[in-house]
């Protein structure tokens, strides 16, 4: 496994090296790798960073941090019990000094760091942490809090003493330790969790222990954070422990791509989120660094719903996989920041297995498989069988980069072997309902970021995201079930031995591609750009920005 | 006069109730609902049982008439509920967005009117026929400029290249200059067109010939005789255009990153955020009714004949 991780690291260095060599950007290599501050100069304290965000944040309940704009705010104002090192993916102490896990991974005991306070002055103690995890693990029906996706089999929290808390699980939960490090597990004050869920879209109500505090906000337009002077509890292994270098961060919602990029290049902003691949050259040519941290989960892909009779036959799904020229999609629409997927899982994820040989493009073989499955070209060139045409529908997924372009190109590729793919935009309501009906949507766009093998279970298990729409999951219209896959997923979520757990992950990656359930396209990054004088911009393990170590050089 | 205002107020309330009910029914007829769209969304990664529990907590599966009466009752007592997408009380969202849009739209309307008057008067008074012709074709040009393109061009030129105006984090007034121009240009076009046409029409009237025969200068004739008669239909159109202003504000707000009712409405419709849309509909309908009431009350100010007619009827 270590080898795979190294390979990924080497690749990312190579990518960056090429860029720096081309553009002669001194320092971009170090900055681009998001290494903790060992940049050329000593960090400077002071200044406000102007950060242009594409969309306004929504609900800031920490488990809703998966939405990129939410994660970008929560990562500054909340801390987590543990810190996942984005290079090694190891879990390191943060708000928890140490922890113990029992052999069956059903009991986790955390010792909290003393002296930590919330921005309202209340201390971080075992009681508050217990309240947070009880809410994340079980939800709160009265206040309408949903549960957190990353916490499985949660039973209860037990306060041992002021600074010791123990979590009990109903079944083994080996993914929990990593779950305490994710963006969705930020610890908030008891006063925040006493409010109704429907009020947590107001950032000023989110009280955390983070290096920044919400100073003011104009809903949908602007959010101002200021540094906490008394902050002394950065992740334990960071050299930097005290207050953030920046005095503050001003988030300005700027939906229009050209305005965000233009403002950055014109010196009106210091950092921006979301740059499409086709806009990268104008940023790089101006000498501004682009950061594209990977999201380390399941790759940007499409997944089939085998309950739909058109894609129920394995040979049809295999033929569609063979008819997909993934390289053309990546080369045409994207840049070096979007590496071609070589498994369903990101190559930067623990447990990744290189399955490139199962992801080849071969139109002749595809046609042969269609013929073998009984599909023959009709008068209009579209494949037919028993009077029905191989006519499939997919909805565009707006958060995924250039998704409409990806699907249109795919439709052209599939048309070459006689398959019709209709690409729909649709209103949110129809889209949501149709996606629950495998007959209406035989294919769906899928992607999820999280740096733990549990992410695979989250994606495919019927009681979670249920990507294949299995019986007993989100849809009441389906009978499809893959017992073998589900057993593997349950094993993955419950296996406490790390090596065995990663082996199961490899088995699942193989199984999903052997069954041609998913066609992965590329490893999805989050793209950011900054002015050249912005140093120390870092990213947590799934690409959410952290401004704790960020500082502004003289300019 | 007070009876007239009372009956107009009664009509206004009826309009508000109809707007509320029709928009409510239309929203309900759409597939899906806000709670489904929010919680079935991959960003939360919730499973089917968790979603079912939340639907129950929100009571979204109760009968339509119950939900309607509940919402109507809340509105009558001034409770607009919560925005499902924004997760804040609807009243907060309105408070954050209404004043911004009101300012942008009214400044836009003022500038549009000024532009329209300038174009119409210049096109009438300009010395050469070719110049008058050129000025008269400006409205056609203005109405065909896409707001989106205009906004981006203004930003590119005046902010990014000339660096005269900052779009990001600008001062109070600085931040309004480009958006107001963007909004005003397309709105000024129909105003100018109607004004021009009415000036043409009024100019052929007998009283204009009489005034000219008496030796009045063209400016005097235009200002004292033609313009007053040409303004009335323009005023009516201005009232109606107010609605278009709100629609134009959506694009202007998006391009300039301003908060406002336009963007809020667009987002709420996209996610079927019923309580926000209901509130926006009621407020917009109220604004519309008020503006048109103001226009009706302004007629007698511009036209003495209407003043007398009212007097006779009363």
Whole-number average pLDDT of chain A: 91
Return the pLDDT at A40: 56
Q: Which of A250, A259, A300, A440 to mutate to test the interface with B (most CBs of B within 10 A)?
A: A259
Better-scored residue on pLDDT, B259 or B224 = B259
Provide the pLDDT confidence category of residue A20 given band limits of 50, 70 and 90: very low
Per DSSP, helices labelled H in A362-443 are 363-372, 403-415, 428-434
Please state, for a pLDDT cut of 70, what percent of chain B lies above it: 96
Provide the pLDDT confidence category of residue B222 given band limits of 50, 70 and 90: confident
Looking at the predicted structure, is the pLDDT value of residue B2 above 70? yes
Return the pLDDT at A37: 42
Whose tokens are 């255009």? That residue is B241
Lowest mean pLDDT, pick from A52-61, A400-409, B304-313:
B304-313
Q: Which positions in chain B touch A258 (Cβ < 8 Å)? A: 152, 156
| Phi, then psi, of A526 in degrees rounded to 5 | -110, 125
The reply to whether residue A429 touches residue B32, judged by beta carbons under 8 angstroms, is: yes
Give the DSSP H/E element, type plus range, for residue B177.
helix B174-203
Looking at the predicted structure, is the pLDDT value of residue A31 above 80? no
Better-scored residue on pLDDT, B200 or A9 = B200
Q: State whether residue B40 sits within 8 Å of chain A by CB.
A: yes
Return the pLDDT at A27: 37
The DSSP symbol for B226 reads I
CB atoms within 10 A of CB A412: 12
Looking at the predicted structure, is the pLDDT value of residue A19 above 60? no
Provide the pLDDT confidence category of residue B304 given band limits of 50, 70 and 90: confident
Provide the pLDDT confidence category of residue A401 given band limits of 50, 70 and 90: very high
Q: Helices B261-270 and B90-125: crossing angle, nearest 10°?
A: 120
Return the pLDDT at A16: 40
Return the pLDDT at B308: 58
Task: Report the residue from B84, B97, B254 with minimal CB separation from A256.
Answer: B254
CA–CA separation, A25 and A39 (whole Å): 14
CB atoms within 10 A of CB B154: 20
Whose tokens are 């005290």? That residue is A242
CA–CA separation, A27 and A287 (whole Å): 12
Lowest mean pLDDT, pick from A105-109, A361-365, A444-448, B33-37:
B33-37
Lowest mean pLDDT, pick from A127-131, A351-355, A429-433, B41-45:
B41-45
CA-angle at A131, arms to A127 and A134, nearest 5°: 135
Return the pLDDT at B228: 77
Return the pLDDT at B291: 79
Looking at the predicted structure, is the pLDDT value of residue B312 above 60? no
Task: Report the residue from B48, B50, B86 with minimal CB separation from A473.
Answer: B48
Specify the pTM. Answer: 0.88
Q: State whether residue B37 sits within 8 Å of chain A by CB.
A: yes
Please state, for a pLDDT cut of 90, what percent of chain A lies above it: 87
- Beta pairing, strands A271-273 & A48-53: parallel
Q: Helices B174-203 and B227-256: crossing angle, nearest 10°?
A: 150
Dump pLDDT digits (tens) for B241-275.
Answer: 877 787 778 888 888 988 888 888 888 988 889 88
Q: State whether residue B282 sits within 8 Å of chain A by CB.
A: no
CA B58 centroid distance within chain: 34
CA A47 centroid distance within chain: 30
Dump pLDDT digits (tens) for A198-207.
Answer: 999 999 999 9
A230 three-class SS:
coil
Return the pLDDT at A29: 38
Whole-number average pLDDT of chain B: 85
Better-scored residue on pLDDT, A536 or B247 = A536
Answer for the pair A214, A60: CB distance below 8 angstroms, yes or no: no
Q: Which of A50, A219, A542 to mutate to test the interface with B (most CBs of B within 10 A)?
A: A219
Looking at the predicted structure, is the pLDDT value of residue A83 above 90? yes
CA–CA separation, A269 and A319 (whole Å): 48
Q: Which positions in chain A touch B40 (Cβ < 8 Å)? A: 432, 435-436, 474
Provide the pLDDT confidence category of residue B1 given band limits of 50, 70 and 90: low
Return the pLDDT at B299: 77
Go through the domains of chain B in sequence order and give each one's CATH number. 2-76 (no CATH), 97-270 (1.10.3720.10)
Answer for the pair B20, B72: CB distance below 8 angstroms, yes or no: yes
Answer for the pair A522, A359: CB distance below 8 angstroms, yes or no: no
Looking at the predicted structure, is the pLDDT value of residue B5 above 50? yes
Return the top range by mean pLDDT from A6-10, A484-488, B39-43, B234-238. Answer: A484-488
3-state helix, strand, coil in chain A (%, to 5): 30, 20, 45
CA–CA separation, A249 and A260 (whole Å): 16
CB atoms within 10 A of CB A332: 13
Give the DSSP H/E element, type plus range, for residue A332.
helix A326-333
| Cα within 13 Å of Cα(B17), Cβ side | 9
Strand order in the sheet with A271-273: A212-218, A222-227, A248-253, A48-53, A271-273, A528-530, A290-291
For the segment A275-294, the average pLDDT, to the nearest whole number, is: 95
Lowest mean pLDDT, pick from A62-66, A162-166, A210-214:
A62-66
Q: State whether residue B97 sits within 8 Å of chain A by CB.
A: yes
CA distance A461 to chain B (A): 9
Dump pLDDT digits (tens) for A218-259.
Answer: 998 999 999 999 999 999 999 999 999 999 999 999 999 999
> Read out DSSP for A88-157?
T--EEESSEEEEEE-TTS-EEEEEEPTT-B-TTS-B--HHHHHHHHHHHHH-BTTTTBPPPTT--SEEEE
CA-angle at A107, arms to A101 and A112, nearest 5°: 70
Q: Which ipTM score applies to this complex?
A: 0.84
Identify how many contiguous H helices and E strands chain A contains and give both numbers. 16, 25
CA–CA separation, B149 and B165 (whole Å): 18
CA–CA separation, A423 and A411 (whole Å): 8
Looking at the predicted structure, is the pLDDT value of residue B128 above 90? no
Looking at the predicted structure, is the pLDDT value of residue A424 above 60? yes
The reply to whether residue B88 touches residue A266, judged by beta carbons under 8 angstroms, is: no
Cα–Cα distances (Å) from A399 to A368, A427, B98, in that order, read: 36, 14, 28
């Amino acid at each position: 496994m270590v080898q795979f991780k190294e390979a990924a690291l080497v690749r990312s260095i190579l990518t960056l090296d090429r860029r720096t060599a081309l553009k002669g950007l001194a320092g971009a290599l170090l900055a681009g790798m998001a290494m903790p501050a060992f940049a050329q100069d000593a960090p400077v304290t002071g200044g406000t960073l102007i950060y242009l965000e594409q969309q306004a944040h929504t609900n800031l309940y920490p488990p809703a941090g998966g939405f990129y704009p939410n994660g970008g705010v929560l990562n500054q104002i909340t801390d987590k019990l543990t810190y996942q090192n984005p290079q090694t993916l190891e879990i390191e102490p943060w708000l928890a000094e140490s922890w113990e896990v029992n052999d069956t991974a059903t009991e986790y005991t955390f010792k909290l760091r003393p002296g930590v306070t919330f921005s309202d002055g209340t201390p971080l103690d075992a009681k508050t942490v217990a309240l947070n995890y009880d809410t994340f693990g079980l939800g709160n029906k009265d206040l309408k809090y949903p549960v957190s996706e990353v916490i499985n089999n949660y039973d209860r929290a037990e306060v041992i003493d002021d600074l010791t808390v123990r979590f009990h699980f109903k079944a083994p939960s080996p993914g929990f330790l990593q779950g305490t490090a994710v963006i969705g597990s930020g610890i908030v004050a008891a006063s925040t969790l006493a409010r109704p869920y429907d009020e947590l879209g107001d950032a000023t109500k989110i009280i955390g222990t983070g290096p920044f505090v919400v100073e003011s906000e104009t809903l949908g337009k602007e959010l101002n954070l200021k540094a906490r002077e008394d902050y002394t509890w950065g992740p334990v292994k960071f050299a930097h422990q005290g207050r953030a270098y920046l005095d503050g961060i001003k988030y300005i919602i700027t939906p229009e791509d050209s305005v965000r990029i233009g403002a950055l290049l014109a010196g009106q902003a210091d950092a921006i989120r979301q740059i499409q691949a086709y806009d990268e050259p104008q940023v790089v040519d101006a000498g501004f660094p682009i950061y594209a941290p990977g999201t380390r989960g399941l790759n940007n892909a499409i997944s089939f719903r085998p309950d739909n009779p058109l894609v129920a036959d394995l040979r049809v799904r295999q033929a569609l996989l063979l008819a997909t020229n993934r390289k053309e999609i990546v080369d045409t629409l994207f840049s070096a920041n979007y590496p071609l997927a070589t498994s369903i899982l990101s190559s930067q994820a623990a447990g990744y297995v290189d399955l490139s040989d199962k992801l080849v493009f071969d139109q002749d073989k595809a046609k042969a498989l269609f013929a073998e499955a009984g599909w023959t070209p009709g008068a209009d060139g579209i494949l037919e069988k028993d009077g029905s045409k191989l006519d499939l529908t997919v909805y565009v997924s707006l958060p995924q980069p250039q998704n409409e372009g990806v699907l249109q190109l795919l439709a052209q590729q599939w048309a070459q072997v006689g398959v019709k793919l209709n690409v729909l935009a649709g209103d949110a309501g129809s889209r949501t309902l149709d996606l629950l009906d495998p007959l209406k949507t035989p294919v769906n766009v899928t992607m999820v970021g999280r740096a733990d093998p549990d992410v695979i279970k989250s994606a495919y298990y019927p009681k979670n995201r249920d990507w294949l729409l299995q019986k007993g999951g989100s849809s009441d219209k389906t009978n499809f079930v893959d017992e073998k896959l589900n057993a593997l997923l349950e094993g993955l979520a419950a296996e406490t031995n790390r090596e065995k757990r990663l082996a199961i992950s490899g088995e699942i990656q193989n199984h999903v591609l052997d069954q041609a359930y998913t066609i992965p396209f590329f490893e999805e990054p989050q793209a950011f750009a900054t002015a050249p004088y912005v140093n120390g911009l870092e990213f947590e393990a799934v690409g959410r920005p952290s401004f704790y170590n960020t500082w502004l050089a003289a300019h | 006069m007070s009876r007239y205002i009372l009956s107009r107020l009664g009509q206004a309330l009826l309009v508000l109730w109809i707007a509320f009910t029709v928009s409510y029914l239309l929203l309900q007829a759409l597939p899906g609902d806000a709670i489904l769209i929010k919680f079935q969304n991959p960003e939360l990664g919730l499973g089917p049982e968790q979603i079912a529990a939340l639907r129950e907590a929100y009571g979204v599966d109760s009968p339509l008439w119950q939900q309607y009466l509940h919402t109507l009752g809340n509105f009558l007592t001034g409770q607009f509920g919560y925005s499902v997408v924004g997760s804040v009380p609807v009243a907060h969202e309105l408070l954050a967005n209404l004043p911004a849009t009101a300012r942008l739209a009214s400044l836009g309307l003022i500038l549009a009117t000024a532009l329209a008057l300038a174009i119409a008067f210049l096109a009438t008074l300009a010395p050469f026929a070719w110049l008058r012709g050129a000025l008269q074709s400006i409205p056609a040009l203005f109405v065909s400029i896409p707001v989106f393109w205009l906004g981006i061009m203004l930003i590119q030129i005046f902010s990014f290249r000339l660096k005269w105006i900052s779009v990001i984090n600008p001062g109070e007034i600085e931040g309004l200059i480009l958006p107001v121009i963007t909004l005003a240009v397309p709105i000024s076009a129909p105003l100018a067109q109607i004004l021009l046409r009415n000036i043409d029409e009024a100019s052929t009237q007998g009283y204009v010939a009489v005034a000219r025969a008496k030796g009045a200068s063209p400016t005097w004739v235009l200002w004292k005789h033609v313009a007053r008669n040409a303004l009335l239909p323009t005023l009516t159109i201005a009232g109606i255009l107010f609605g278009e202003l709100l629609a134009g504000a959506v694009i202007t707000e998006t391009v300039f990153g301003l908060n406002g009712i336009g963007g809020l409405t667009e987002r709420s419709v996209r996610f079927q955020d019923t309580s926000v849309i209901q509130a926006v509909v009621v407020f917009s309908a109220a604004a519309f009714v008020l503006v048109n009431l103001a226009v009706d009350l302004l007629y007698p100010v511009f036209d003495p004949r209407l003043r007398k007619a009212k007097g006779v009827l009363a």
